[in-house]
Amino acid sequence: MIGRLFARNDTSLEDYVRLAQSGDEETRNQLLKQYQPFIAKSVSEVCKRYIDPNSDDEYSIGLLAFDEAINSFSATKGSSFLSFAKLVIKRKVIDYIRNEMKQPVVASLDDEYYDEEQMENPSEIAAAKDNYKKAAEAEQRREEIKEFKQCLSAYKLSFEELTESSPKHRDARETAVQIARTIYNDSRLRDRVLEKGRIPMKDLVDRVEVSKKTLERNRKFILAIVLILDGDFVYLKDYIKGVGL
């Protein structure tokens, strides 16, 4: 039955995800089984090596992350399920790698008897781990930017257009971010913005200390910040904090 269900052309992957979210365990298990190659590939892109589903711990982390993605996916955020799932998988695997790096290595007294030429320099090991961490974080940032671009496109915005229309002065950016937070913290305003893709000018004029003209000039930037606040964009949120916004 489930095979015939997945063979239907009129049902999208997102529809099956919603079925799984509603408690359909058969559909959930089929999704986990059918997308094993996708999970392995996503994990492999982080680890930069072939991933064996039968022996690599990283694959198990990816599988759990895919299941978590099923639970937390929302089509209203503007991205496809697979794009969202890949982002979740990569973040979970990177977190796993970071935690593994933090574990102390217990040296045996017998290590002293190994051939010195076969022993690795601890400083080289530390440097290699640091480089690997930086590469993993850079990959995660690239994936996040890619996901954000897809999110923007759902609201008929481009990343390049956003860059050009962003406020040039720090004070203006701070004000725009505060307006975005005002919208995000009000569930009624937030839902309207996410549903319509428009900034509610009339509602905001009486709540913020800027003119309607200023709101209109910065509306694209404000909308983008609302999308960041509402999305699973760890690095973009850190960037907002990092520039003092």
pLDDT in tens, 52-61: 888 889 999 9
Mean pLDDT: which of 63-72, 170-179, 211-220 is highest? 63-72
Spatial distance between the Cα atoms of 227 and 22, rounded to a whole number of angstroms:
26
Query: Which amino acid, one-letter code, is at 68?
Result: E
DSSP assignment letter at 117: G
List Cα–Cα distances, 189 to 77, 78, 109, 185, in angstroms: 16, 18, 64, 8
More confident residue, 10 or 85: 85
Q: Hey, what CATH topology would domain 2-102 get? A: Rna Polymerase Sigma Factor; Chain: A (1.10.1740)
List Cα–Cα distances, 143 to 24, 128, 235, in angstroms: 30, 23, 10
Structural domain boundaries in the chain:
2-102, 159-242
Average model confidence (pLDDT) across the chain: 80
Spatial distance between the Cα atoms of 49 and 41, rounded to a whole number of angstroms:
10
Residue 133 has pLDDT above 90, yes or no: no
Spatial contact of 77 and 151, defined as CB atoms under 8 Å apart: yes
Helix, strand, coil percentages for the chain (3-state, nearest 5)? 75, 0, 25
pLDDT tens digits, 33-46: 999 999 999 998 88
Q: What is the pLDDT of residue 9?
A: 52
pLDDT tens digits, 62-109: 999 999 999 999 877 667 899 889 989 988 998 888 777 665 544 443
